[in-house]
Amino acid sequence: MLKRPAGSSHYFVFNGYPIFSMNADTDPQADTASHRLPPGPVMVDVQGTELTDHERRRLRSPLVGGVILFARNFETRAQLAGLCRSIHQLRDEPLLIAVDHEGGRVQRFRSDGFTPLPAMSVFGQIWMDDSLAAMRLATETGYVLGAELRACGVDLSFTPVLDLDYGVSTVIGSRAFHREPQVVAMLARALIQGLMLAGMSACGKHFPGHGYVQADSHHEIPVDTRSLEEIMQEDAAPYGWLGDMVLPSVMPAHVIYSSVDPQPAGFSKYWIQTVLRDSLAYDGVVFSDDLTMEGAAVAGDILARAEAALGAGCDMVLVCNRPDLADELLARLRHTPSPRSQRRIRRLAPHRPAPDWAELQSLERYQYARQLQSQIISG
């Protein structure tokens, strides 16, 4: 059981032992960044391969804190690097650039040199024969994933998926590592180590777990009827084991856990504050999932959805594929993020420069890790 002592936010107690960690109140970059426009609580997208004038104005809004990219934003590596550069140059404190780039069927950039990455279920299969080899290979994959994205200017990938594979969710499926939470936690830790070696943070999703429900929250409102105890012992366990020192951000599920709270987890103070922040002593960034998904519709219009997510404790909300709704939200939202929330977001930004693509290709470390990916996929 984890417990963060009252009046002290920079360590928690695990089985009676104090464990210290960096957090929002002790962030060494907080003061040096205070004179710049801080990151806002909204992440938006862009429509094409270069910015329009309207998008430049949108991204300069004080409410914007990040940009999420999709496959439509990619033609070539040079073009992607140019797009990221233009986004970063818009503000003195660069916006966070993120992407869903997990491997398998969720990999936004697939051509012009980007390495095809295995689905995470492959590592779960390898684990059954050789657990240590599975962890080694997951680390190599995390490194390739992070290094290639960073070489093009992307700061964060929304990975890894921590959902358990119950064999019922088509939207999760092979994106999950394994059925057992212990295996998921170990393989996720290994993948995150690879990301960290590339200078990239991680985001675990979809808290407390999306794998048990069949419905796809992109198109429906899934309902999970299990008890709190079962969810905490199974699906939510990896989040507690990893913690914010390893997993600096999480994304709640647009799933209603009807025995616990009538609101989806991403709109639930109980899930975000009572469970995640208090019971699990988690002090990383909490992103909402995309507020335009059907699973978010229960909260109302786009303003009501954002207010519900931010009010529940999310640090940043995502508005994807609907620029009209992004503009509406930026015009209507009245929200001042806490300094602590802003410092959490700042900790996700890369803290060291990354090799460009040409330099990356010359690194033996990268060449070896990249070669392994084709071997993993080919079996």
**Of 54 and 5, the one with more pLDDT:** 54
Condensed to tens digits (0 to 9), the pLDDT of residues 109-164 reads: 999 999 999 999 999 999 999 999 999 999 999 999 999 999 999 999 999 999 99
pLDDT attached to residue 136: 97
**Which tokens sit at 287?**
């992103």
Statement: residue 26 has pLDDT above 50: no
Closest to 99 (Cα-Cα) out of 159, 143, 175, 23? 159
Its sign, for the CA torsion 373, 138, 184, 254, is negative
CB atoms within 10 A of CB 85: 12
Whether residue 273 is predicted with pLDDT greater than 50 in this model: the reply is: yes
Residue 7 has pLDDT above 90, yes or no: no
With cut-offs at 50, 70 and 90, classify the pLDDT of residue 15: very low
Is the separation of the CB atoms in 327 and 57 below 8 Å?
Answer: no
Q: Nearest Cα to 286, choosing from 255, 319, 320, 309?
A: 309
The C-alpha torsion from 36 through 39 and 43 to 46, rounded to 10°, is: 10
What lies within 8 Å, CB to CB, of 314 at 6+ separation is 41, 252, 266, 272, 286, 287, 288
Cα–Cα dist 128/122, whole Å: 10
The model's pLDDT over 150-207, given as tens digits with 9 standing for 90+, comes to 999 999 999 999 999 999 998 999 999 999 999 999 999 999 999 999 999 999 999 9
Domain containing 312: what range?
51-378
Query: Which residues belong to the active site?
Result: 218, 289
Q: What percent of the chain has pLDDT over 90?
A: 84
- For residues 165 and 69, give the distance between their C-alpha atoms in angstroms, rounded to a whole number: 27
**CA neighbours closer than 13 Å in the CB half-sphere of residue 78:** 1
The total of other beta-carbon atoms located within 10 Å of residue 127's CB is 22
**187: which residues sit within 8 A by CB, 6+ positions away?**
120, 123, 124, 127, 134, 135, 138, 160, 177, 178
As a whole number, the mean pLDDT across the chain is 91
The CA-based angle 49-54-57, given to 5 degrees, is 110
Q: What confidence score (pLDDT) does residue 295 get?
A: 72
pLDDT of 33 > 70? The answer is no
Residue 70 sits at the vertex; the CA angle it makes with 65 and 74, to the nearest 5 degrees, is 115
Q: 181: phi > 0 → left, psi -120 to 50 → alpha, else beta; which?
A: alpha
Q: For residue 334, what are its two tokens?
A: 């009245």
The answer to whether residue 41 sits within a structural domain is no
Tens of pLDDT, residue by residue over 323-353, are: 999 999 999 999 999 999 999 999 999 999 9
Within 8 A by CB and 6+ apart from 209, the residues are: 162, 163, 164, 224, 231, 234, 235, 236, 253, 255
Contacts of 376 (CB under 8 A, 6+ apart): 118, 122, 126, 137, 141
Residue 228 has pLDDT above 60, yes or no: yes
Provide the pLDDT for residue 379: 66
Residue 235: both structure tokens together: 């699906």
R_g over Cα of the chain: 19
Question: Does 45 fall in a domain?
Answer: no
| 22, burial (CB in 10 Å: exposed 0-12, middle 13-18, buried 19+) | middle
Q: How far apart are CA 187 and CA 81, in angstroms?
A: 30
Report the pLDDT averaged over residues 13-36.
40
- 2 falls in which pLDDT band (50, 70, 90)? low
Task: Flag whether pLDDT at 8 surpasses 50.
Answer: no
**Which is it for strands 11-14 and 17-20: parallel, antiparallel or unpaired?**
antiparallel
Within a domain: residue 207?
yes
- Say if 8 falls within a structural domain: no
Q: Please tell me the total count of domains within the chain.
A: 1
CA dihedral in degrees (47, 306, 344, 204; nearest 10)? -70
Q: Give residue-wise pLDDT tens across range 108-123.
A: 999 999 999 999 999 9
Q: Per-residue pLDDT tens for 96-111?
A: 999 999 999 999 999 9
In our burial notation (b when 16+ CB lie closer than 10 A, e otherwise), range 149-170 reads: bbbbbbbbbbbbbbbbbbeebe
210 found inside a domain? yes
Percent of the chain with pLDDT over 70: 90
Instruction: Please tell me the pTM assigned to this model.
Output: 0.90
124: in domain = yes
**Alpha-carbon distance 202 to 142, whole Å?**
10
CATH of the domain at 148: 3.20.20.300
Encoded tokens for 286? 């909490």
Tell me the pLDDT tens digit for each residue of 275-322.
999 999 999 999 999 999 877 888 789 999 999 999 999 999 999 999
Torsion, Cα 315 320 323 325, to 10 degrees, reads -60
> Does 20 fall in a domain?
no
Does any domain span residue 9? no
pLDDT reading at 11 higher than 90: no
